[in-house]
Amino acid sequence: MKSNSTYIITIDGTSGSGKTTISNALAKKLGFSLLDSGKLYRSAGFVYLQSKESFSDLNTIKDLISKITISSSKDSNEFEISFDNKKIDHLLYTEEISESASIVSKIPEVRECMLKLQKLCVKGKGLIANGRDMGTEVFPEADLKLYVSASLDIRARRRYEELKSKGDDVSLKNVYKSLQKRDESDTNRSISPLRVPDNAQIIDTSDLKPDAIVDKILNLYTITQN
């Protein structure tokens, strides 16, 4: 049984594997805070889209990225993101930002700034941190490490339906291709590539409903407490 320190659960996996849904539900059930590191990289992508020309100069990148801050929310478990003191969480889920986040996440200086922000989230009784390198690079000391995956077909359909329900004009074929491109980029990049962390539990979410996955993880959590 842990005492006096923050219990950390990392959830890594490919885009659209269900990390966000699972992390939200787990954070609520356990009363832990939630760090969605993909959202943090999206905020860097947001900054990049606004000032592409400045991204050729490493000092300017650092200056711009240092205007990204995170804070606890009064209304939810999830850390909120601001740029230049303005909340930007609601602006980060477009295909354009998905692509620019994938570009900037390969810049070492960006990852260095993100690492510092992510470490600040370790406080309180527990933290759920999801992304690509949570269990490998950011929180290798985590108490419970999970790796979630699902087939590309299933992930593309899920993401397509999510974007459609928000009124985005997208085709299934383009969503599929974009996810495929991001998988390649996330797994083949030289810096912090997506991989299964040592000692991680692997969960295939293709045929499981979110509730069943959350129950499975809560079970694993209980086992680590004994």
3 SS3 class: coil
Report 83-102 residues binding ligand DC (CB under 6 A).
98, 101-102
Query: Least Å distance between CB 84 and ligand DC?
Result: 21
By the rule CB under 6 A, 205 interacts with ligand DC: no
Report the Cα 152 to chain-centroid distance in Å.
18
By the rule CB under 6 A, 147 interacts with ligand DC: no
Query: Least Å distance between CB 28 and ligand DC?
Result: 19
- Interface residue with ligand DC, options 9, 22, 23, 41 (CB under 6 A): 41
Rounded Cα–Cα distance for residues 111 and 163 (Å): 27
Q: What is the DSSP string of 101-144?
A: HHHHTT-HHHHHHHHHHHHTT--SSEEEEEESSIIIII-TT-SE
End-to-end CA distance of the chain: 6
78 SS3 class: strand
**Contact pattern from residue 106 through residue 145 relative to ligand DC, giving x for each residue in contact according to CB under 6 A and a dash for the rest:** -------------------------xxx------------
Cβ proximity to ligand DC: between 33 and 98 the closer is 98
- Interface residue with ligand DC, options 9, 10, 18, 38 (CB under 6 A): 38
**94, 116, 76, 84: which is closest to 39 by C-alpha?**
94
Report the interface residues with ligand DC, using CB under 6 A: 15, 37-38, 41-42, 98, 101-102, 105, 131-133, 182, 186
